[in-house]
Structure 1
Amino acid sequence: MTSPASSPVRYALGGFVTMAVAMGIGRFIFTPILPAMMTDLGLSPGDAGIIASANYVGYLLGAIIAGYGWASGIERAVVLVSLAASAALCLAMSLSGTIVAFSILRFLAGMASAFMLVLAATIVFSHLAAANRPGLQALHFGGVGAGIALSSVLVAASAAEGYGWRQDWIGAAILSILGLFAVLWLLREGPVRAGADIKEPPVRWTPAFLKINIAYGVFGFGYIITATFIIAIVRSSHGGASMEALVWFVTGVSAALSVWLWTPLLRRVGPFAVVALGMLVQAVGVAASVVLPPPAGPLLGGVLLGLTFIVITASGFQAGRAILPQSPRRVMAVMTAAFGIGQIIGPLVGGYLANITGNFTIATLAAAASLVVGAVFAFLARG
């Protein structure tokens, strides 16, 4: 049965909304809400790092679990349940007040976001491939940045009305429910089946595959310190609520446009060079967020973070598949694990260093230096 001509766009839009809720809100709204939580509850940077890392542990575990075949045939149902769960967990955050409770809720939210990420991509990309419209994947990934930008508007509007962080989480829950209804209509079917699954050969740890995994793990460590603490950095410099919102907004808008902006270069130089260049560009932004005075430093940091983190994530997977083309799912699982480990360690190290030094400068510069090292490994992996 042939799909209607509009269905590729409809499925890409479904992916866009799913990514906005899963990543932009469910995963990253913690960043603009965090400063108010730290102030109101007396959380230290180390406490915040623990809560953030719990989310990334959940994401790592969820991505690994989602990679198995248990969801075959029920992908759409799992995506919808995960959307509902993400909304419920945002609401539960508004009712909590301890590090343990926050960490458990963020762990579960990480799992839900991973389920949505993996299984929504399975649905959307299969329909785009069947319609020969792979270019619409950029619309799907653009949802991450749109969700980040929307979360900045939500938190800014909440602050303007005199509301606090608990109301921010309630607003996030409402946006997630609205996203659930949109996805229910947009993603009307599961993935297109292309016959029986073929058993993939095991991953071979060639020197090139080892290097790209080192680069990917370092990327997870380097980007997440800034992605977690950049608004706290703005607050520590007394930038004000409007500056906090603007920094996160430009991060989101840049992320939403990033895939389109990098695609011509990706076609010309390939994924290895794009990962390496993207990490160098991101290193500049990460360092700028604390080296340059506000508002220029955090704004440039937000723009360059947004312009690179989705592109590096997607191009890294392309590089891994280019090295081991016969094992695409296993490659994605291994690289997700490398990325996830870096992501988990990053906020813990960043928060700990901020506790010791009294600010985020050393932690952020360490992240920038690590990204330069990662870029070298990514470039060398091209063989």
Structure 2
Amino acid sequence: MTRPDRVPAHNLAPTALAGAIAMAVAMGFGRFSYTPILPGMMTELSLTPADAGLIASANFVGYLGGAVAAGYGWAAGRERMVSLSALVATTVLLLAMGLTSSLLLFSLIRFLAGVASAFTMIFTSAIVLSRGLAAGNPHVQSVHFGGVGIGIAVSSLMVFLLPAQGFGGLANWQAAWFGGALVACIGTIIVAALLPSGPASGKAAEREKPLVWSRPLVVVTLTYGLFGFGYVITATFLVAMARQGASDHTVEFLAWLITGLSAAISVHLWRRAVPRLGIVGVYLLGLLVEAIGLILVVALPSPYAPLIGGLMLGATFIMVTAYGLQIGRALAPQSPRKALAFMTAAFGVGQIIGPLVAGWLAQGSGSFTVPTLLASGVLLFCAALIGLEMRRIVAATGA
């Protein structure tokens, strides 16, 4: 007899596609298109690294606020409506970025965009991943999170193809934000047509039990937050780093394109290592690989440094994000949505601090070497914590 909450296999493709497009819009464009657009803004608006870090941190403050708000259960039964509303808001906010040159307004807009991206990530994931889990299909997660990488790659290509002089009096960076808004609008329409009504369990309206903070869950959440600090420094400033000393914009375009393409397939590729290493082992290895990638960013000469850095960033940060959340959900089976929300909040705290510290250190030292090495050290510390706690985490999750 078929379980009533089991999702038919033929319904999974549009669901996974809706998740991928939603993540491409909210994360690839709503959050990460700031990275390839930033060098043009810094040049044409005379923004300092500290200014750029402030704008980035405002986005992450919004992401934190959205993640915390999502954990209170007010959206139970209304996940689809909240997700689509957040995608519409993302489109509007991308448009708004091209309509001002004020540092204060940039920060406010990016704050709101952070809220919208957190809502989309949490509530769309609740719908899509629950249906993949109900059907026992691991490919849904790969496609869903792969959308972030596709969004990054498309945003990089869009910025690269824009004429240097912009369009009809618009600066290049303004045209990039407007182009992102157009892509986001189209994506939102497609998601609205494909996204199912809610999580597969049929219990979306029920409130979860209070979250129980076991030692493994505390450790995983801590490392997840520190990972947010470590990865975001390169994710924010990689293209700006690539522009330093480059004769044209090709290297910065390729660095971010490689980041996106490697991110798009990373979860699928890393999944092949799960049977041998387990999810916790893959999570640990991802932290180590990204830490090494950050060291190579400052150790290798240009143009190889940003290209290798982009490859290793893309190959790990989506996977670590996805598997970290999966581990957190497994450690809190009675309150998985709360675990997801609080881990996302910890991630958000790390992301807030990262750009501020990196911008300040880069402005003081004149390069991004010191903040990049700091980020690598933080990731190595995370790997050490997981290694020390690994036996307990595996015992608690069976992963």
Give the structure 1 partner of residue 34 of structure 2: 30
User: Is 1:19 the counterpart of 2:28 in the alignment?
Assistant: no
Q: Which amino acid aligns with 1:46?
A: A
Aligned counterpart for 1:192 among listed residues 170, 194, 200: 200
Q: Do 1:60 and 1:340's aligned partners in 2 also have CA atoms closer than 8 Å?
A: yes
Q: Do 2:7 and 2:134's aligned partners in 1 also have CA atoms closer than 8 Å?
A: no
Alignment partners' CA distance in 1, 2:146 and 2:330: 24
Give the structure 2 partner of residue 126 of structure 1: 130
Q: Do 1:272 and 1:381's aligned partners in 2 also have CA atoms closer than 8 Å?
A: no
User: Match of 1:69, SS?
Assistant: coil
How far did 1:198 drift? 5.9
User: Match of 1:53, SS?
Assistant: helix
How far did 1:226 drift? 0.2
CA distances 1:77-99 after superposition (whole Å, capped 9, x unpaired): 22222111111101110011111
How far did 1:3 drift? 6.7
How far did 1:356 drift? 0.3
1:188–1:336 CA distance, 2 compared to 1 (3 A): closer
CA distances 1:352-376 after superposition (whole Å, capped 9, x unpaired): 0011001111111111111111111
Alignment partners' CA distance in 1, 2:195 and 2:227: 32
Give the structure 1 partner of residue 235 of structure 2: 227
TM-score, length basis structure 2: 0.91
Mapping for residues 259-338 of structure 1, pairs under 5 Å: 259-338=267-346
The worse-fitting range, judged by mean Cα deviation, of 320-329 and 276-285 is: 320-329
How far did 1:188 drift? 4.6
User: Is 1:238 the counterpart of 2:246 in the alignment?
Assistant: yes
Alignment partners' CA distance in 2, 1:194 and 1:267: 30
Q: Do 1:209 and 1:381's aligned partners in 2 also have CA atoms closer than 8 Å?
A: no
How far did 1:162 drift? 4.5
User: Is 1:91 the counterpart of 2:89 in the alignment?
Assistant: no
Give the structure 2 partner of residue 80 of structure 1: 84
1:354–1:62 CA distance, 2 compared to 1 (3 A): same
Alignment partners' CA distance in 2, 1:239 and 1:347: 26
Alignment partners' CA distance in 2, 1:75 and 1:204: 25
How far did 1:236 drift? 1.3
CA distances 1:71-126 after superposition (whole Å, capped 9, x unpaired): 22322222222111111101110011111100000000011111111111122123
List alignment gaps of at least 5 residues for structure 1.
none
User: Match of 1:28, SS?
Assistant: coil
Identity of aligned residues (%): 49
How far did 1:285 drift? 1.2
Give the structure 2 partner of residue 381 of structure 1: 389
Give the structure 2 partner of residue 203 of structure 1: 212
1:40–1:213 CA distance, 2 compared to 1 (3 A): same
1:11–1:239 CA distance, 2 compared to 1 (3 A): farther
The worse-fitting range, judged by mean Cα deviation, of 369-378 and 60-69 is: 60-69
Alignment partners' CA distance in 1, 2:207 and 2:91: 36
Aligned length, in residue pairs: 382
Q: Do 2:122 and 2:340's aligned partners in 1 also have CA atoms closer than 8 Å?
A: no
How far did 1:322 drift? 4.1
How far did 1:223 drift? 0.2
Q: How well do the aligned residues superpose, as a CA RMSD in angstroms?
A: 1.9
User: Match of 2:301, SS?
Assistant: coil
1:7–1:280 CA distance, 2 compared to 1 (3 A): same
1:71–1:285 CA distance, 2 compared to 1 (3 A): same
Alignment partners' CA distance in 1, 2:113 and 2:9: 35
How far did 1:4 drift? 6.5
Q: Which amino acid aligns with 1:146?
A: I
CA distances 1:6-61 after superposition (whole Å, capped 9, x unpaired): 32100000001000001000010000000000011111100000000000110111
Alignment partners' CA distance in 2, 1:336 and 1:4: 30
Alignment partners' CA distance in 2, 1:157 and 1:62: 33
List alignment gaps of at least 5 residues for structure 2.
393-399
The worse-fitting range, judged by mean Cα deviation, of 100-109 and 77-86 is: 77-86
User: Match of 2:249, SS?
Assistant: helix
CA distances 1:142-170 after superposition (whole Å, capped 9, x unpaired): 10000000000100011467551000000
